[in-house]
Amino acid sequence: MRNFTIKTRLTTKEYAKVMFVGLYKKPAFILSTLLGLYFLTTVILDYLGVIAWYDELPIFEIACGTFFMLAPTLIVFIAVRQFTSNPSFQNDTAYTFGENGIAIQWTTFKSEFLWSHIIKQKELSKFLILYHNKKFGNFIDKTKLTAEQVDFIKSKVGHK
């Protein structure tokens, strides 16, 4: 396939959405949220007199329930702050895909990666995320690619 280029900009809203979707695909976060919901529900039901589980003010349950419910939001908030603090993410990014790898052009610098350096791919929402290590990846907007181009990228990831 011939080289092809797309230009895209990931908005803060899109990034936050992708982060939430990514977190809530993990069983640990789903379980944590359900546990938090359980704690807070039992506290509310006890307060309303529907159940009588607590003799004293359930401070531990309130704290744990609140923490478990808000932990994913806190993680996303921290990630979004890091995202918005990097000026490179506030501008368009050009991705050029070819047989050997990807060239990524930001406003102030350019990076090139061989396909063998992409260790993992993940699809979330309208994005294909190509990971260079466990924590860093590039968000490729699939709506700007043809089905053939998406298949080409997927076929290259993981092949050394």
Q: What is the pLDDT of residues 106-139, one digit of tens each?
A: 888 899 999 999 999 988 878 999 998 888 888 9
Model confidence, pTM: 0.75
Q: pLDDT per position in the chain (160 positions), as tens?
A: 799 999 998 899 999 998 898 888 899 999 999 999 999 999 999 999 999 999 999 999 999 999 999 999 999 999 999 989 987 777 889 999 999 999 999 888 899 999 999 999 988 878 999 998 888 888 999 999 999 999 999 999 875 4
User: Which contacts (CB < 8 Å, 24+ apart) does range 27-35 have?
Assistant: 29/71, 29/72, 32/68, 32/71, 32/72, 33/68, 33/69, 33/72, 35/64, 35/65, 35/68
- Domains and their CATH numbers in the chain: 4-8+91-156 (2.30.29), 13-85 (no CATH)
Residue 5 · residue 73 · CB < 8 Å: no
Q: What is the dihedral of CA 150, 84, 77, 19, to 10 degrees?
A: 0
